[in-house]
Amino acid sequence: MTTTATPAPGIPRHWDVELGGIRWLPRLIDKARMKSRGELGSYLCGHSPVDQGLLKRLNLTTDQFVAIVDANPTDEGVLEAIRAHGMDYPSARRWSEKFHTTYKRLIPLWSIDEGYVEPKPWQRVALKAFKPIEGAAMELVRKLSPAP
């Protein structure tokens, strides 16, 4: 399933949108652009295990990836630049193909948090309790899990 819905402003593309056959890449591009504009908010860019998993297969650090995104205004330009940099395309494709099973516990959380799925009543309560501390929690993650 690929989600084609346009996210609300300030939300990166859905996790299952692909670029060059690689899930998460459009989302990571969006987060890099948000970071460069100072609009990342509580999102992580390079700090999450998902970002780190993809960056490893792209053979890039977070800073290198952000620089490529900054230098290329289109998704296709970013893809061409990371290919030229020497990404491990077969590894990135295998990682992408296993995405559903690898991150199956996180996927529902992302979908609820970003409004793609209507939360159940108990999830609504949990989300309401978490939102006031979300920014501080993500800042702690950024400190404890440095971006590669």
Q: pLDDT tens digits, residue range 6-17?
A: 556 789 999 999
Tokens of 124: 């609504």
Question: Worst-scoring range by mean pLDDT, 18-32, 59-73, 132-146?
Answer: 132-146
Q: Which helix (H) or strand (E) holds 61?
A: none
pLDDT at 23: 96
In a domain, 107, yes or no: yes
In a domain, 43, yes or no: yes
Domain count, the chain: 1
Side-chain half-sphere CA neighbours of 81 within 13 A = 18
pLDDT higher at 110 or 37: 37
Residue 69 · residue 78 · CB < 8 Å: yes
Distances (CA, A) of 139 to 18, 19, 73, 106: 28, 29, 28, 19
pLDDT at 57: 96
In a domain, 52, yes or no: yes
Q: What is the pTM of this model?
A: 0.86
In a domain, 13, yes or no: no
pLDDT at 5: 53
In a domain, 3, yes or no: no
Instruction: Look up the domain containing 35 and give its range.
Output: 18-144
The string of pLDDT tens digits covering residues 65-87 is 999 999 999 999 999 999 999 99
Q: Is the pLDDT of residue 124 over 80?
A: yes
pLDDT at 2: 44
Q: Burial level of 143, CB count in 10 A (0-12/13-18/19+)? A: exposed
Q: Is the pLDDT of residue 117 over 80?
A: yes
In a domain, 2, yes or no: no
